[in-house]
Amino acid sequence: MNRGQTLFTKRANWAVPYVVFLAIFVLIPIILIVIYAFADADDKFTLANFRKFMLHPEAVNTFVYSVGIAITTTLACILLGYPAAYILSRNSFAASRATVLLFILPMWINILIRTLATVALFDFLNVPLGEGALVFGMVYNFLPFMIYPIYNTLRKMDYSLVEAARDLGANPASVFARVVLPLSMPGVASGIMMVFMPTISTFAIAELLTMNNIKLFGTTIQENINNGMWNYGAALSLIMLLLIGVTGLISSDSGNGKEGGIL
Amino acid sequence: MNRKQAATFLGKAYLWVLLLMLYSPILIIMVFSFTEAKVLGNWTGFSTKLYASLFSGDMHRSLTNAIWNSLVIALGAATVSTGLGSLAAIGLFNMRPRARQTVRFINTIPILNPDIITGVSLFLLFVSLGISQGYTTVVLAHITFCTPYVVLSVLPRLRQMNPNLYEAALDLGATPFQALRKVIIPEIRPGVISGFILAFTLSVDDFAVTVFTIGNEGIETLSTYIYADARKGGLTPELRPLSTIIFATVLLLLIIVNIRSARTGKKRQDG
């Protein structure tokens, strides 16, 4: 009785079910990706999956192309989203809470519906579905994820620093470049994570936006898993995981990662 | 002064242009959900026929089924994640710093992982355990990516709570279960509720993880249904009224939530 009670009373133990759950559904599955990636169909150790990737120009090209599309989309989102976040965060523009809400509202609508709506718009305007449509569609889809974290950090920024810089004689351009921009970097960093990661890993979205003409890396992974090529699919997933790990490290270096906050 | 006014005007104009860009796809869908034409962009007069056929046509059965599946899965996943995550948050809060940091780190993995990686990794887990995929696996997968958000929304509430309250309840003779129910839960309730809502929306919205864990027994959620449908031939006309309804619902919910939080915010300021 006593033992049972301390086991239960000790509140630290209340996390035990979740810790077990995390081990089974988060840690083991990731280890499984690694194991499958380095195994052949008979569960023997091999590097063949990675060799196959390297020797397969189509797979490598898709990979490089996807990285290119993801970088383009992310840059476009920064260029379009930063000014918007800045304007929204300044009181002088008197942007209401409702306007801010309008910018984050699309985040709550199913991504497939958003994508199909974009396809419908391009159809309506007679825009050909291709690379341009792909990047535009991705920007449509992910722009709110760039605006929101930047807006959040700019909102929390200590505005007296800007006033101080002004009082000390800095012109508007250098106030922005040397005070506002550096202070908003954490938001930009988490915006990059929130835009780059989904763009590099989407599947389905690219197919829908280009009528199956352009394939991104995510689609390659999905196709291989669907066709029973689990080991090769796992190897491709591991490659993507590494790329994302590197991006994460770089962007958390330039500003402290999560601070901007996910909604 | 005039320059400032011009800047304000330009800034506002920029916001509106951007908003117009963001919303034009949705607006077009909404407008053309009120006409019969099969091809989007043809206006053949006002009609609610698409709405009618959404609820009675050939699509009716499979679509309602998919919506129902999405809701049941989301309800199940959100309920379990909320329980599991809230308990975990209380546990985490009382752990030693090093253990807490480790668990918190693992807790962020599903948040940071792209959906496709979560999907593939869970797919591999289920195949190597020989579990056939269906409802159960989808719900388990959704619990996996929803619970971390519940933990993160409950933890701040615990930090704001007076740590002595729980001990006081125990000293006054409450059992740990009673203390949990009467002391801790009321304190963390707002965090638990927003965790539940977040988990529910994430689950309803999910596509990538679902595709990998739903198996091929023919179970469809709304997302996989739309995907399969879109692959067959673009946007089926009936999806226009459906998107319109979903958009209106989300808009309404967000407005309600925001009015509520604005009100409680005011109350807190007043009190």
Q: Is the model's pLDDT at B77 over the cut of 80?
A: yes
Contact residues for A34 (Cβ-Cβ < 8 A; gap 6+): A234, A238
| Tokens (6 digits) for A166 | 């002004």
Residue B62: the pLDDT is: 81
Contact residues for B63 (Cβ-Cβ < 8 A; gap 6+): B54, B225, B238, B242
What's the domain count of chain A? 1
Among candidates A12, A84, A241 on the partner chain, residue whose Cβ is nearest the Cβ of B15? A84
Instruction: Determine contact, residues B31/A120, Cβ cutoff 8 Å.
Output: no
pLDDT in tens, chain A (263 residues): 455 556 666 788 889 999 999 999 999 999 999 999 999 888 888 888 898 888 888 889 999 999 999 999 999 999 999 999 998 888 766 666 778 888 877 777 788 888 888 888 888 888 888 888 899 889 988 998 899 899 989 888 888 888 898 889 888 888 888 888 888 898 999 899 889 988 888 888 888 888 778 888 999 999 999 898 999 999 999 999 999 888 878 776 665 444 444 43
Instruction: Determine contact, residues A114/B247, Cβ cutoff 8 Å.
Output: no
Flag whether A243 is in a domain: yes
Q: List chain A residues with CB under 8 Å of B87.
A: 14-15, 17-18
Q: Is the model's pLDDT at B45 over the cut of 70?
A: yes
- The verdict on B136 touching A (C-beta cutoff 8 Å) is no
Flag whether A3 is in a domain: no
Residue B93: count of CB within 10 angstroms of its CB:
21
| Structural domains of chain B, ranges and CATH numbers in brackets | 59-236 (1.10.3720.10)
**Could you give the count of Cα atoms lying within 13 Å of B199 in the half-sphere of its Cβ?**
37
Flag whether A107 is in a domain: yes
- The verdict on A140 touching B (C-beta cutoff 8 Å) is yes
Greater confidence (B172 vs B254) lies with B172
- In terms of Cα–Cα distance, which of B94, B220, B212, B98 is closest to B144? B212
- In the stretch 38-97 of chain B, residues with CB closer than 8 A to chain A read 40-41, 84-85, 87-96
> What is the domain extent for residue A196?
48-260
Predicted confidence (pLDDT) per residue in B219-265, tens digit: 899 899 888 888 776 667 777 888 888 888 878 877 777 776 666 65
Are B230 and A112 inside 8 Å of each other by CB? yes
- A contact test, residue of B40, B121, B161 with most A CBs within 10 A: B121
Greater confidence (B21 vs A104) lies with B21
Flag whether A17 is in a domain: no
Among candidates A103, A116, A237 on the partner chain, residue whose Cβ is nearest the Cβ of B230? A116
Flag whether A31 is in a domain: no
Are B144 and A26 inside 8 Å of each other by CB? yes
Instruction: Give this prediction's pTM.
Output: 0.86
Please give the interface size between A and B, counted as residue pairs whose CB atoms are below 8 Å apart.
Answer: 231
Are A22 and B29 inside 8 Å of each other by CB? no
Instruction: Give the chain A residue nearest B246 (alpha carbons).
Output: A109
- Residue A45's SS3 state is strand
Q: Could you tell me the CATH number of the domain that includes residue A214?
A: 1.10.3720.10
